[in-house]
Amino acid sequence: MTIAGVATAYPPYKYDQQTLLPALQRHWASRIDDPAFMQRLQARVGLETRYLALPLDQYYSLNTFGQANDHWIRVGTELGQQALCHALSRAGLSTSDLGAVFFTSITGISAPSIDARLINRMNLPRTIKRVPIFGLGCVAGAACISRAADYVLAYPDQVAAVLSVELCSLTLQQDDTSIANMVSSSLFGDGAAAVLLAGAACEAWGPKVLTTRSAFYPDTEHVMGWDISEKGFRIVLSRDVPEVIFQNLASDVDEFLAENNLSRSDVGAWVLHTGGPRILEATARALDLPDHALDVSWECLRRRGNLSSASVLAVLEEFMQKRRPDAGTYGLLAAMGPGFCAELILLQW
């Protein structure tokens, strides 16, 4: 099983954090007790730029979940097509080569799903197997790579696509001045990413997926997720998330590596979800990683924010395109999400 191609796509509206934060501050100024809070938050989050699904001024008139979700369907279909086309051309594959598509998003919903709409737009095979996933949140990009790897393990002569589209800005809760919402509105960005997995019998050039593992942390349902209502998707984000990661990640990673006769020191490339500064710090501390091991994740975070499920795929793209490890290097791709849970993937370049 080989990762034959990875590509991202972003909306054309790119903003400096210095533009976005004051806009949010103006919006909330009258309602938050401590207006300097946003500035301190910004200094802490450390983002530079983010992409948005819509031009900034259009968000002020986004008054209902229905309007926001309609934009999600429209922009999600466009970006999804761009990312998938780009990944196919990088892998030297055509749409007719695809046997399955795992579509995932936690920022909007649609029936028929976006993958069905893309069959019509992109002329994908009419017998493609479609798996549209909602509910896994930030972990879904990694989880879809694992499920796509399972699929091509069953069908070694086929290629499966993972497509993640996250338009986090469209979930912005304009009335919610909770810390969780203010953190997330300064942290999350919009984007799409596609990954192609080729079965063992396909000719492909890229890192191999050796094995995968899903890890679930019991009784942590409350630390992360959506509170869903007619107002849309309101973030649930507990202060405990970094601690849950710190407590659990190392033992899961070590068990997973030991099953494969490896240890942390054998891993040369860390492809980690860009959850946010506190998540990346907790991850580095939990795994006792050397300085610079997470540079790629930090850089992706600075340039685009947390792209939810697409984030770890954007980090993977960066490794594939610009910082390809030497042949034979082991890599660990990992993401975390609501549940609380983690998905681990062992790669070899």
Q: Which residues are catalytic?
A: 138
Query: Is-contact 170 74, C-beta < 8 A?
Result: no
- How many whole angstroms separate alpha carbon 79 and alpha carbon 11? 7
CB of 65 to another protein, least distance (A): 4
Going from the C-alpha of 212 to that of each of 135, 147, 153, 230, 317, the distances in angstroms are 20, 9, 12, 37, 19
Give CA–CA dist 95/137, Å, rounded: 27
Binding status of residue 134 toward another protein by CB under 8 A: yes
| Contact pattern for another protein over residues 146 through 185, marking x by CB under 8 A | xx--xx-xxx------------------------------
**Nearest to another protein of 10, 217 (CB atom):** 217
Looking at residues 288 to 327 of the shown chain, list those that interact with another protein (rule: CB under 8 A): none
| One residue of 5, 80, 137, 275 binding another protein per CB under 8 A | 137
Burial label for 298, CB within 10 Å (0-12, 13-18, 19+), is middle
Closest distance of CB 82 from another protein, Å: 20
Q: How many CB atoms lie within 10 A of CB 322?
A: 8
Residue 143 interacts with another protein (CB under 8 A): yes or no: yes
Our finding on whether 64 is near another protein (CB under 8 A) is: yes
- The residue ranges of DSSP E strands in the chain, in sequence order, are 2-9, 13-16, 49-52, 98-104, 129-133, 159-167, 190-198, 208-216, 224-229, 232-237, 267-272, 330-337, 341-348
Is 130 one of the binding residues for another protein (CB under 8 A)? yes
Rounded CA-CA distance 159/153 in Å is 10
Give yes or no for residue 15 binding another protein (CB under 8 A): no
Can you point out the beta strands (E) in 10-156? 13-16, 49-52, 98-104, 129-133
User: In this chain, which stretch among 2-10, 182-190, 223-231, 239-247 interacts with another protein, using CB under 8 A?
Assistant: 223-231
Smallest distance from another protein to CB 88, Å = 18
**Candidate residues 226, 264, 268, 325; the one interacting with another protein per rule CB under 8 A:** 226
Q: List the end-to-end C-alpha distance of the chain, in Å, as a whole number.
A: 12
**With left for phi above 0 and alpha for psi between -120 and 50, is residue 171 left, alpha or beta?**
alpha
Among 219, 288, 291, 326, binds another protein (CB under 8 A): 219
Least separation in angstroms between residue 79's CB and another protein is 17
Q: Which is nearer to another protein, 232 or 331 (CB)?
A: 232
- Count of residues in contact with another protein, rule CB under 8 A: 58
CA contacts within 13 A on the Cβ side of 122: 26
The Cα–Cα gap between 6 and 1 comes to: 14
Query: Residue 116 interacts with another protein (CB under 8 A)?
Result: yes
Among the listed ranges 78-86, 218-226, 265-273, 279-287, the one in contact with another protein (CB under 8 A) is 218-226
- Nearer residue to another protein within complex by CB, 15 or 226: 226
Residues in contact with another protein by CB under 8 A are 64-66, 69, 103, 106, 109-117, 119-120, 126-137, 143, 146-147, 150-151, 153-155, 213-219, 221, 224-226, 228-233, 338-341
